[in-house]
Amino acid sequence: MTSDINREFIDHASALRAAEEGVAKLAAGRNDRWYPKFHIASDGGWINDPNGLCYYKGRWHVFYQLHPFGTQWGPMHWGHVSSDDMITWRREPIALAPSLNVERDGVFSGSAVEGDDGRLWLFYTGHRWQEGPNGEQENLEVQCAAVSDDGVHFEKLGVIIDNPDRLFHFRDPKVWKQDGRWYMVFGMSTPDKRGQILLYSSENMRAWHYERLLFRHPNPGVYMLECPDFFPLSDPNGNLRWVLCFSAMGEHPNGFSNRNLHNAGYVIGTWEPGERFQPQTEFRMWDWGHNYYAPQSFEAPDGRRIQYAWMSPFIPPHPMQEDGWCGQLTLPREVTLDHYGCIRTNPVEETTALRCGTTDFGSFVLDVNENRVLCDDIDAAEIEMEIDVSETTAERAGLKIHSTDDNAHTCVYYDDQTHRVVLDRHAAALGNRGYRAAPFTSHHLKLQVFVDRSSVEVFINDGEQAMSSYSTPSPGKRAIELNAESGTLAIQSLRIHRLRSIGLDR
């Protein structure tokens, strides 16, 4: 490393070795009762945001924020898995560990692109703590890059965007190429604590120039926009829109919306290089569940826009922390714009290849107050269910998942009084409780529900809305039940698929 700012405090290879040992130690003592079968998680340790999503040299790559030495958030590394079909995954060596002075306390979130030189470039934030005037911890952050020829071993290039004014919360670069020029967005907090997104550009990926303020959050309470993402999407009529995504810190709950500690969403609008982003919608949430944060997307070679998020366990307790691991990513979702110009998110097509056995329940009516066991023990399942809402008289009707002998369970039901889909953890065995409620618009309700060992993801009416939450079952058999309360439930179709592992559990 040449300049002082890029000086190493430890050599990268030793830092990576220590991190691998940290993960291996936690993995050796891991308990798998809640370890995901078909979601990406670390072998051991804590994970948060997905990073560096890309397709490079014939493989899909997913990196993620990793603390290899404990099951809490801590000094961040980049963990790594890859796949040749987006169905079965394999573990790769940890890609980045803190080794330069500017990233002494963490290699934070960022993105990946194939460079003009054919190499894989990672852009990420170097993070360190500094003492503030009153002895408090303040962050000092800069943007850094690293490159690789094989997508697995990375050489650090050091700082590419410095932070000379020592602004707080200056992080999470997302890079893309357009019309022959490289662009980068990242989030920042102004000295008067307003959340903003900045736009930079570059000809060669090394020298970056400030272009402009792309977006300032209208709510003065929002002090930081983490993990921004910015991409074009066309609706079926060919109308092009830009989607500006961010994970807002400081937003207050508003009815059913923004119920989580921090909330991830997007605004749809228009943009031309050189211009400010022009919003055309209000802020909309990606997902109505308890645990969906820091989503990032990338463009697949076939043009699909694919998004992963972190299932963020913001509110303790986190039962899996006793088990040697904490945190998982969501399923990969394809993001599209529909005829109304609204976003839809659906599990990627590849997910159907996880099905390994199907029970078809056909169409039937569940009686007033009836409870029916559909499946008495399953740890990884996909439920496809269509409800005829106009023929249903129940006040509440739907699924109990992770239902155990002690009567603990998590509910996913249709609520006639609010006309919403509710994901309700009031009877959850362990972990945080509370409910979330997503809107839906028609008289027909189609649910696609993915149940893993400690999570549930719900897709409503072909991806109009989604809900993702942890659900931690009690020991013993995990049943799936169907229930109608104070009325009948008209099922038009119902299938349950057993799902196989993506190859990361054991």
**Residue 65 or 469 with smaller CB distance to ligand FRU:** 65
Cα–Cα distance between 42 and 27 in angstroms, integer?
9
For 70, 206, 318, 325, the CA distances from 322, given in Å and listed in that order, are 10, 43, 8, 8
Per CB under 6 A, which of residues 47..66 are in contact with ligand FRU? Answer: 48-49, 65
Decide whether 174 or 420 has the Cβ nearer to ligand FRU. Answer: 174
Q: Which amino acid is at 283?
A: F
Name the token pair of 313.
Answer: 């366990």
> Judged by CB, which is closer to ligand FRU: 312, or 454?
312
Between strands 90-91 and 444-452, the pairing is unpaired
99 counts as binding ligand FRU under rule CB under 6 A: no
Q: Could you give the CA distance from residue 386 to residue 307 in angstroms, rounded to a whole number?
A: 25
* Residue selected from 35, 108, 123, 277 as contacting ligand FRU according to rule CB under 6 A: 108
Is 46 a binding residue for ligand FRU by CB under 6 A? The answer is no
Q: Which is nearer to ligand FRU, 172 or 334 (CB)?
A: 172
Mark whether 49 is an active-site residue: yes
Nearest-5° angle of CA 198, CA 200, CA 203? Answer: 170
Contact 112, 61 (CB under 8 A): yes
Site for ligand FRU in 279-298 (CB under 6 A): 293-294
Cα separation of the two ends of the chain: 40
Chain positions 145 to 184 lying near ligand FRU, rule: CB under 6 A, are: 171-172
Can you tell me the distance from the alpha carbon of 466 to that of 455, in angstroms, rounded to the nearest whole number?
A: 13
3-state helix, strand, coil in the chain (%, to 5): 5, 50, 40
Complex with ligand FRU: residue 309 or 385, whichever CB lies closer: 309
465: contact with ligand FRU by CB under 6 A: no
Q: DSSP letter for 100, please.
A: B
Identity of the residue, 263 or 403, whose beta carbon is nearer to ligand FRU in the bound complex:
263
Measured CA to CA, the distance from residue 482 to residue 460 in angstroms comes to 17
Q: How far apart are CB 76 and ligand FRU at their closest, in Å?
A: 5
Closest approach, Cβ 292 to ligand FRU, in A, equals: 12
Residue 6 in tokens: 């890029």
Q: Which of 49, 172, 287, 415 is catalytic?
A: 49
Rounded Cα distance, 380 and 253, in Å: 32
42 binds ligand FRU (CB under 6 A): no
* 328 binds ligand FRU per the rule CB under 6 A: no
Choosing from 15, 76, 268, 438, the residue that interacts with ligand FRU (CB under 6 A) is 76
Footprint (CB under 6 A) of ligand FRU, residues 198-227: 226-227
Interface with ligand FRU, residue 229, by CB under 6 A: no
Query: Minimum Å distance from CB 293 to ligand FRU?
Result: 6
289, 295, 299, 300 alpha-carbon torsion, rounded to 10°: -60
Residues with active-site annotation: 49
Residue ranges that bind ligand FRU, judged by CB under 6 A: 48-49, 65, 76, 108-109, 125, 171-172, 226-227, 293-294
